[in-house]
Structure 1
Amino acid sequence: MSPTDSLMAPTLVRRLACMLYESTLVFGIAVGAGLLFSIPAGMRSGMDERRPLFLAFIVVVLGIYFVWCWVRGQTLAMKTWGIRVVDRHGRPLGQLRALFRYACCWLWVLPPLAVVAPMKMSAGGMFGALLGWIALLALASNFHPQRQFWHDELAGTRLIPAPTAGK
């Protein structure tokens, strides 16, 4: 087996299932972080004038979560689905590479939102655009030589199979 083969991504279905589970966990983290910010700040609405600070706080908290987990090799969802993140040489990530990967991961969300935001679409339309973009990016991984997501290519990282907790 060549070194390239050992850095082949798990199946697309497995990676997408992991992302779905991760989104559930991230929702919980975001709610908790939102409470930590909004209760002491006395925010009564998501449209409060402190909304930009609120959103920045959520982004920072999620960044801390992901960087901390990726430096250790896995998030809880990745552990459950038997996936590890490594650099392009198969080594554990350092903090800067994990932080850069976090920034690159925003390619899954920001482009469709930036395109549809000026259109004043409904929430359903925005959700549809987001799902379409995610499907496009997921399918584009089939064109990568190791079936990696393109944000991993940009970040110099790879998702690889890892033994699950039960194995």
Structure 2
Amino acid sequence: MSASSPASRTLAPAGLTRRMACWLYEGIVLFALMMVAVLLQSALALLLPALNHPALLQATTLALWGAYFIYFWQRGQTLPMKTWRITVLDAQGRPLSRARALTRYAFGWVWGLPLLVQLTPWHLTVQALATALAAWVVLWMAASRLHPQGQFWHDAWAGTQLVQAA
């Protein structure tokens, strides 16, 4: 085994402050990708008005975000992760497979759990939803302190880890 193989190097977990700064930066990238989804749907809706439906926009956005994350996580980093010097690896310290990246994407939606209330008959006001989402993010961040390596729980469930990039 060479000295540079994943199993032989020490993987230092990325700190919470760095991970949250990256998370905010990812939000900016996701907003831009959502604008691409809106542009695509708007162009298609001009040709076929039946495609002008909010559910289609939501599905397009989720698919576009998923493609973005899966593509870049398989390569170890998104642009915000490069900026904040964070790499995503599997539990053994190897790059993510497509299936592992998809699993991480699915489990990553735990960040948005309060948004699910909007799918129920009990809709919240924008202020109440923002407050619930902010409280949930703070709780989810705090819960990472309970993980032995300080990782987020969705990473533990997906068999992934965020480490400091070399």
TM-score by length of 2: 0.87
Structure showing greater relative contact order (alpha-carbon pairs closer than 8 Å, 6 or more residues apart): 1
Give the percent of matched residue pairs that are identical in Structure 1 and Structure 2: 44
- Could you say what secondary structure the match of 2:95 adopts? coil
Paired residue for 2:105? 102
Of 51, 74, 79, which residue of structure 1 is paired with 2:54? 51
Task: Tell me, in whole angstroms, the C-alpha distance in 2 between the residues paired with 1:24 and 1:14.
Answer: 16
Paired residue total: 155
- Could you say what secondary structure the match of 1:6 adopts? coil
Structure 1, unmatched stretches of 5+, are none
Task: Tell me, in whole angstroms, the C-alpha distance in 1 between the residues paired with 2:10 and 2:127.
Answer: 40
Paired residue for 1:64? 67
Task: Tell me, in whole angstroms, the C-alpha distance in 1 between the residues paired with 2:149 and 2:75.
Answer: 22
Paired residue for 1:113? 115
TM-score by length of 1: 0.86
Task: For residue 27 of structure 1, report the CA deviation from its aligned partner.
Answer: 0.4
Task: Tell me, in whole angstroms, the C-alpha distance in 1 between the residues paired with 2:157 and 2:106.
Answer: 10
Task: Tell me, in whole angstroms, the C-alpha distance in 2 between the residues paired with 1:9 and 1:64.
Answer: 25
State whether residues 8 and 147 of structure 1, in contact with CA within 8 Å, keep that contact through their aligned partners in structure 2. no
User: Can you list the C-alpha shifts for 1:42-100, whole angstroms capped at 9, x where unaligned?
Assistant: 39xxxx86211111011001100000000000000000000000000000000010011
State whether residues 14 and 162 of structure 2, in contact with CA within 8 Å, keep that contact through their aligned partners in structure 1. yes
Structure 2, unmatched stretches of 5+, are 1-6
Task: Tell me, in whole angstroms, the C-alpha distance in 2 between the residues paired with 1:62 and 1:72.
Answer: 16
